[in-house]
Structure 1
Amino acid sequence: MRYGYSCTLTKTLLLSATALAVVVGAPTLAVAQEQASQLDEIIVTGTKRDSTIFEVPFSINAQTQEDIQRSGAVTLEDLSRNVAGLTIQNLGPGQSQVAVRGVSAGQVVRDQPGVKEQVGVYLDESVISLSLFTPDIDLFDLNRVETLRGPQGTLFGSGSVGGTIRYITNQPQLGVNEGVIEGNLNAVDLQDMGGYLKGAINMPVGETVAVRAVGYYTEYGGFIDALREGGGRDRNVNGGSRAGGRFAVLFQPNPNISITPRIVYQEIRADGFNRQEAFNLFANPNTTTRPPITLREREQYLLLDESFADDTMLADITATFGLGVVELTSVTTYIDRNIRLDRDASTLTGSVSVDLGFPESAVLLPSTLVDTTDLEQFTQELRLSSNDDGPFQWLLGAFYSKVDRLYNQRLPTPGYDAVTDAELGAGTSAAVANGFGPDSPYNARLPYDIEQFAFFGEGSVILDRWTLTAGGRFYDFSEERRFTSGGLFANGDDQSDETSSSGFTPRVLVSYEASDSVIVNAQVAQGFRLGGVNDPLNLPLCSPEDEAIFGSFQSYEDETLWNYEIGLKARSSRFTFNTAAFYTDINDLQTTLDAGSCSSRVVFNVPKAHTMGVEGELWAEVMEGLEIGVSGSWVNAEFDSTVVDGTGAVIGGIRKGNRLPSVPEFQISLNATYSYEVSEDADGYVSISFQHVGSRYTQASDQENNPRSFVSGLPFGGASGNDPTVVNLELPRYDLVNVSVGLQMDNGVDIIAYGNNIFDDDALLSFDRERGGRARLGFTVGQPRTVGVTVRKTF
């Protein structure tokens, strides 16, 4: 039986890869029998050593500095639409979730600090991923962004269960004086203005030292309007800024020794969030004693201002020592990061106040939910690798990380204690405070101490046209935390939890060089994602039914998967073509869902799930001056298990055959660039791109009973609370068209005029619900039409 299944799977993968090759690349595959490619090769380091994309024996994409500049991309989300199999779920500034090949557990939100990431994110050699709050790195002065598809746990560890993203910066260069300065001015939605100023310089200091300094400041235009109490309107409340820089020094006393210390600092500020609301307890068309309000496109309702702040400092030292036929590499990294998110939670607090029977004046008390994260992370990696051209290549390494993370949550609501004591009895607020301050009905404090050791290795044997690679990683992980809560909405918890895990993840790759221009590869690899502990439910806010259903999910186990894939890479002087077909068998998928009315979220394990699909990328020079590119993926990602509660009802949409959340089945990007001579000292180009992203669901439960009627059940403002708000929770497909026109002059000046999302598609990126939808409903939305001009000077 097992053998039959394996044969069927192999046939499926082979047929899928063949089909994509026929559809996308067949017209040019014959050309691939030419001798060595004349293309400028892109050098990548996804295998921890320099190699071309063509030589890497698994599916990898690299967006170069030129790709980034011509596409006008300023965030990883922008880039993702040009990378097959890569999906970004935008949940607000600095709060994007990354998925590769459909391996996704759904939306992770601000109050789930223990959830681990599914895609590892690196800045050069330093890991920077942090679940929901992965830093939104500026793309200026990058050499490339690498996307390694499929589990990369052997070389990159936990958090790379779906894949790995690597920001590769330009490094200091000896003997080179160069620099670039770049300025931009843009208009968002033809209203709010934004722009940036960025610069980089590389300078040699003698013959053995070089420095590279980068600085940037960006002002983001807003596009969301906030309606206010009394009929006011604040326009473009979600604007913000990003400022930072990098300073790196290269010491290279001889060709065999290279030491590069570096400091990176970045701060992000946002004045609000890209949330478009469909229902608000305080602003809806059903109120009678309050003005009825219908919220429209790119509108929200606020009692208080919102904000986001993220200060990140990274210091690292990368050193390599050539020791004859071997090379030693050391990477030491320290990260200090502080995040603060202030969100208008007046509807959350007010909805509870309605349940408690508080007067309307208390329901309308302004209330802010303040989330803070203070992180210190130290990592050390040592690698010893072969340093010759022999038929056996190998790498051995050790990795250690220690993370101290403090997560705090407060709900400051001035005047709430007085109302609580008046309605529920004198001294009630003090009795439930559990040591926290006044006028905050919910408080939580969670210090984490996370430690991990790992040993890894990989070796390759080259036999004529065959290359066999095998490797593995042993890991040992421990997490300790303490959860303390207090306030009227909390349980008054004070508990400590520990979780630990260890294991071994292998990988085997086979590569066959059919010709100098065609390589076929296959891979079997295991990935892992560390487990953890859920926070206790906010029982005072829970209905008895929700407490019975969700109260038993305390801890969750490691998530593991096996990935099987085959791929083909072809190239000539006029084109490159890469494709892969894959099947991923997932065990104990960590899935997130709302705990009903509890204003809590829980993670639990789904026994079985899978993803399978085909991805491909084609670049071709179809005629002199005209280049085209196509990248796309089809992914089937589904649960293979059904999870039910004690009554037999399906929990959270975890039904066999339902889609995994947040990932489109189909995604494609088409782009074309025509270059031409303007004069003897200037060239021009016109570039147009079309990006299609298919429909998705934010959480697994959204595909059950959809479209869904949300009923708050909260009588307020003359509304009965029984009027339904009907929402289609299937995030619709969206299409973006971008156009740019550029002029490149021999004096080093480039001028680019561009328009992004020129048809002004209102892309719905994720669904946001407050207290299970009883208090507020909305969507995070993408940026509207933006036009701008960029001027760049290199010297």
Structure 2
Amino acid sequence: MRRDTEMTHQRTGRWALAACRCPLWIAVALCSPVAAQRAPPSATVMSIPAGRLDSALRRLAVATGRQVLFDPAVVGARRTRGVRGPVDRDRALRRMLAGSGLAARTLPGGVVIIVAAAPAPKTAWPLPMSVEDEIVVTALKRPTPLVDTEMSIATVSAAEIDARGTYDLRSVARQLPGLVAFNTGPLQQRLAIRGVSGTGEATVGVYFGETPINGPSGTTGDPGAFAPDIDLVDIERIELLKGPQGTLYGASSMGGTLRILPQPVDLARASASVESRVDAVDGGGWGGSIAAVANVPLVDDRLAVRIVAHRRSLGGYIDNDRLGIADTGGLVREGARLRVAWAPVGDVRVEGLYLHQHTRIDDGGAWDPALGRYRDVPATRTPNTDRIDLTSATVHAGIAGMTLTATGSHVRWSLIRQLDYTNVLARQRDSMAGCLRLAGLPVGARCSADQMAVFRAYVDARLPSILYQPTRMRSSNAEVRLASPAGAALTWTIGAFMEHRRDAVASYAAGADAATGLLIQPLDVIGLRTIATGIDQQAVFAEGTYEVVPRLSATLGARHYRYQRRAAGAVPIPNIITGTAGLAEQSYAGRARGSNLKSELAYRVPDGPLFYALISEGYRPGGINVTPNLTDAERFYDADHLWNYEFGMKAARRGWSVEGAVYRIEWRNTIFAASSPNGAFNYNANLTNVGITGAELRSTVTAGPLRLIAAASLSDARLGADTVLGTSEGMGRKGDRLPNVPRIAYLLSAEATLPPPAPGDRLIAGIDVSGNDASPTGFNAGNPYFAHTASRTEVALRAGYEHGSWQVDLNIDNALNAVAPVRLFSSAFGERQLYSARPRTISLRSTVRL
């Protein structure tokens, strides 16, 4: 296994303590990590003299432990009166801003941003739910406004999740052009950013809070095929970090990182909400959901818990004409979370999390477009289930002005995977090798006509069949980071990361009942092979940013890693038909180490846009194929790595924002799927290089009650040379596009705040149009299954009405009832298996907040 490399597009940033005097476009006032123990928010003792407002705001931040963000150009040289004695912190802030023409906005998570006070509108209409220049993110491991974060990052806010009824990764991807989510099987999907998509370890790292979640490896060493799909209940924000990550994130990711950030525990205020929803699928079944959230302080400002419980069902819509079953593909997802936050003293906060989620789908979820809309004729039914249990603990602490963050977590992921195996076995009816195995003849001999007839009868007797794969994954990881005090000319972050992951899968080829299509119980076993794999990974990483001259900063980062792979396989029951006896019981091991780098320059035009240019490196570990009948050369595959070259800009003014980036990615030694000659087994192999050229653009305009968003991404991923490997997608030729990666994706969104029926109410209507162009299903040369997944366009309509603590929302997804293809998949397992968006789905949701 070869040296790997990885990199992140992250930086410690130039966000300063409020006491910082360096000339920044935006200054930040943060609570000093060495401040004294907080007073209760209702009575903070202050001694802030009259004088300049910017200085007073900095003092207020230190005294109250609040994060206060402001633009020096907005605050200017304004002055304020002093605040002394025990004063409520909100009242103190109002007193400081009185008569200044400024206002304070409190954002999710308690961050306060100072903005120019808007004149009273001529109507009583509320403004749209959010503006990009007020979004605060933590991608750089500290709060920064989105428009001043020196990387390509896109977000989905809590308000947007709520308004659109977003609940899974597929619906998130519709809102974030450049993020691709496509099915790899029932309850399975692969994520790709900027066209970086391949088998093996995930190219996109998925975090829930501070915890990275990797999928199981399965039988093909492909954790990337199992992106975790956590139900998006009680989520504060989703951040999509584009480009390699690593110098601020220990669990490196080559294409980018998707961060799902739950709502924080509120130590001071009790709250609760209940949401119920009913769904109707056009031509399909009914569904619905219920979710309850409760935040309960146990000790004021010191200890609190946040509890979430949810259940969601989605109606099926695919008809199995062979078995006479309608509306298959229904899904049920149930889960619960418990979060605990404890602030024992001063700047120490301890957080604990337990998450449980159990998902079930009653069939495969794909259909054959040649038979008509949402129809299929599989010989079997393949219900799948998965269960995720996550436990984590995180400590945040201030040490001598620095910030220490330490996280430890454990993930258990268990699933029952079922795939229709009928076509794979049926294709072997004329296999001479299979006949020789059944007859006990040596390799090179030939079966007689009678012996071949016996073999064909044996195969027919084993049909229909199912590949039944109980799988479990256990992963423990830990990360510790230490960050310098903000405000210095040189800011830095250093950290260390470790991961210990183990997978085990038992792969049964077993008979199914011809009448019901269900797996026969107890199992009618045709063959069994077992696989156990593991990875131990350690890394140290660091990133530093130095202000070379005012408004020009340079960032350097590095990550050094090492890892060890282990794999073992056995065949307790050989499958005579497909030849699994070719896998001898044996253990394998491999290891590698290396490093990856990042460099960046950023310049802020005075009172103008931010420009940045960066070079970053990404990597994925190589691995071991535990697959029958491979040569020694095919048994191992090397790490792949890439270089990302990027130039971007961001600008914002009141009412509008724009950001864009252009990039070039050089991806070497790409890991991709190969298949055995009989199509029964897949394994990983290294291809030649891939070149990706792309661009991204997003613009938001807010004008009175109207908000418009236009976003688009271009990602043209092509082979840079011929590949001599005949893969499951065919022979690759120079210039071929990578499979399942659209070149163009887009989002057009409009939202209007309408005149409400009563003062104080909120009435909003919106429309989203999202889609992408067609993408190839594989490489073209010599591929009998080559086709294109057609282009996709989806229209979603929404309307919401809020009155006091009550809210009612109407959502119509896929309003035009279009066939919106996600992936067309053909292989020895079956041809023309189309995964698509759900038909028109009408949802009515009611929410009450207490």
The two structures share one fold, judged by TM-score above 0.5: yes
In 2, distance between residues paired with 1:175 and 1:786?
39
Show the counterpart of 1:147: 240
Equivalent residue, structure 2, for 1:111: none
Note the C-alpha offset of 1:190: 4.3
Q: Does 1:226 align with 2:320?
A: yes
Task: Check whether the contact 1:378–1:401 (CA below 8 A) recurs between aligned residues.
Answer: yes
Partner of 1:749: 806
Name the SS of the counterpart of 1:442 in structure 2: strand
Report the Cα distance in structure 2 between the residues aligned to 1:276 and 1:551, rounded to whole angstroms.
38
1:765 partnered with 2:822: yes
User: What does residue 84 of structure 2 align with?
Assistant: none
Q: What's the CA shift for 1:619?
A: 1.0
Q: Is the 8 A contact 2:724 2:731 kept in 1?
A: no
Aligned match of 1:447: 532
Distance 1:563 1:272, change over 3 A: same
Which residue does the alignment assign to 2:789?
A: 731
Say if 1:741 and 1:645 are closer, same or farther in 2 by CA, change over 3 A: closer
User: 2:35 aligns to what?
Assistant: none
The question of whether the paired residues in 2 share the 8 Å contact of 1:484 and 1:492 is answered with no
2:742 aligned residue (656, 664, 670): 664
Which residue is 1:359 aligned to? 457
Partner of 1:264: 355
Cα–Cα, structure 1 residues 464 and 740, in superposed 2: closer, same or farther, change >3 Å? same
Aligned-partner SS, 1:253: coil
Distance 1:378 1:600, change over 3 A: same
Query: 408, 413, 438: which one pairs with 1:332?
Result: 408
> What residue is the counterpart of 2:506 in the other structure?
408
Q: Give runs of aligned pairs for residues 379-778 of structure 1, distance below 5 A.
A: 379-413=477-511, 439-462=524-547, 463-485=549-571, 486-488=574-576, 489=578, 490-493=580-583, 494-537=585-628, 553-621=634-702, 623-644=703-724, 652-678=730-756, 679-699=758-778, 701=779, 703-704=780-781, 729-745=787-803, 747-771=804-828, 776-778=831-833
3-state DSSP of counterpart to 1:337: strand
Q: What are the superposed Cα offsets for residues 700-743 of structure 1, whole Å, 9 maximum, x if unpaired?
A: x2x3468x5x6xxxxxxxxxxxxxxxxx7111111100101111
**Cα distance, 1:602 vs structure 2:** 2.8
One-letter amino acid matched to 2:658: F
Superposition misfits of 4+ residues, deviation over 6 angstroms? none
Q: Does the C-alpha gap of structure 1 residues 157 and 309 become closer, same or farther in structure 2, counting only changes over 3 Å?
A: same
- Residue 139 of structure 1 aligns to a residue whose secondary structure is coil
Q: Conserved in 2, the CA contact under 8 Å of 1:668 and 1:692?
A: yes
For 1:731 and 1:46, locate their aligned partners in 2 and report how far apart those are by CA, in whole Å.
Answer: 34
Counterpart of 1:235 in structure 2: which amino acid? Answer: A
C-alpha deviation, 1:33, in angstroms: 14
d(CA) in 1 for partners of 2:834, 2:787? 10
The 1-side partners of 2:632 and 2:371 are apart by 35
- The amino acid of 1:694's aligned partner reads D
Deviations 1:259-289 (A, max 9, x none): 00111100001101221126xxxxxxxxxxx
Superposition pairs of residues 196-275 of structure 1, within 5 angstroms = 196-207=289-300, 208-228=302-322, 232-275=323-366
User: Shift of the alpha carbon at 1:366?
Assistant: 2.9
Query: Could you list the runs of 5+ residues in structure 2 that have no partner in the other structure?
Result: 1-70, 76-114, 117-130, 216-223, 436-452, 515-521
Q: Hey, what's the Cα distance between the residues in 1 that align with 2:736 and 2:251?
A: 26
Is residue 464–residue 513 contact of structure 2 (8 Å, CA) maintained in 1? no
Structure 2 residue aligned with 1:284: none
Report if the CA contact (8 A) 2:367-2:375 is conserved.
yes
Using the size of structure 1 for normalisation, the TM-score is: 0.82
Q: In structure 2, how many angstroms separate the alpha carbons of the residues matched to 1:322 and 1:552? A: 51
Q: Are the structure 2 counterparts of residues 468 and 786 from structure 1 closer, same or farther at C-alpha, using a change threshold of 3 Å?
A: same
In the superposition, relative to structure 1, how do residues 677 and 329 fare at CA in structure 2: closer, same or farther (>3 Å)?
same
- The one-letter code of the counterpart of 2:546 is V
CA shift in 2, pair 1:298/1:159, >3 Å: farther
**Within 1, Cα distance between the matches of 2:282 and 2:592?**
49
Question: Aligned residue pairs: how many?
Answer: 681
Please tell me whether the aligned partners of residues 350 and 364 of structure 1 are also in contact (alpha carbons under 8 angstroms).
no
CA distance in 2, matches of 1:371, 1:103: 28
Shift of 1:348: 2.4
- Cα contact 2:730–2:782 (8 A) shared by 1: no
Larger deviation: 513-522 or 498-507?
A: 513-522
1:276 aligned residue: 367
Q: Which moved further from structure 2: 587-596 or 516-525? A: 587-596
Matched with 1:376 is 474
Separation (CA, whole Å) in 1 of partners of 2:238 and 2:781: 37
Q: Distance in 2 between matches of 1:363 and 1:567?
A: 61
Measured against aligned partners, the alpha-carbon deviations of 1:659-686 in whole angstroms (never above 9, x if no partner) come to 1121111111000001022221322111
Q: Deviations over 1:762-790 (max 9, x none)?
A: 1222233342x6x5442222211111111
Flag the structure with larger Rg: 2
Q: Structure 2-normalised TM-score? A: 0.77
1:158·1:529 contact (CA, 8 Å) conserved in 2?
no
**Match of residue 781, structure 1, among 829, 832, 836:** 836
Contact 1:318 1:331 in 2 (8 A): yes
For 1:743 and 1:272, locate their aligned partners in 2 and report how far apart those are by CA, in whole Å: 36
Local SS of the residue matching 2:723: coil
1:64 aligns with 2:157: yes
- Give the CA deviation at 1:237: 1.2
Q: Deviation at 1:227?
A: 2.1
Alpha-carbon distance between aligned partners in 1 of 2:368 and 2:721, rounded to the nearest angstrom: 33
Q: Deviations over 1:515-560 (max 9, x none)?
A: 33411111110000111122334x5xxxxxxx8xx99532211111
- Judged with a 3 Å threshold, the aligned counterparts in structure 2 of structure 1 residues 87 and 33 are, in CA distance, closer, same or farther, namely farther
Q: CA deviation at 1:361?
A: 8.8
Is contact 2:793-2:818 (8 Å) kept? Answer: yes
Aligned to 2:126: none
Shift of 1:645: 6.0
Distance 1:575 1:94 in 2: 39
Q: Closer, same or farther in 2 for the Cα pair 1:651/1:90, shift >3 Å?
A: closer
Q: Deviation string for 1:193-219 (max 9, x for gaps)? A: 011001111111112101111111001
Cα deviation code 1:31-52 (max 9, x no counterpart) = x999687656222121222222
Quickly say closer, same or farther: Cα 1:789–1:506, change in 2 above 3 A. same
Match of 1:160 in 2: 253
In 2, the alpha carbon distance for the partners of 1:617 and 1:627 equals 13
Identity of aligned residues (%): 24
* CA gap 1:438/1:682 in 2 versus in 1, 3 angstroms: closer
Q: 1:456 & 1:264 partners in 2: Cα distance? A: 28
CA drift at 1:476: 0.5
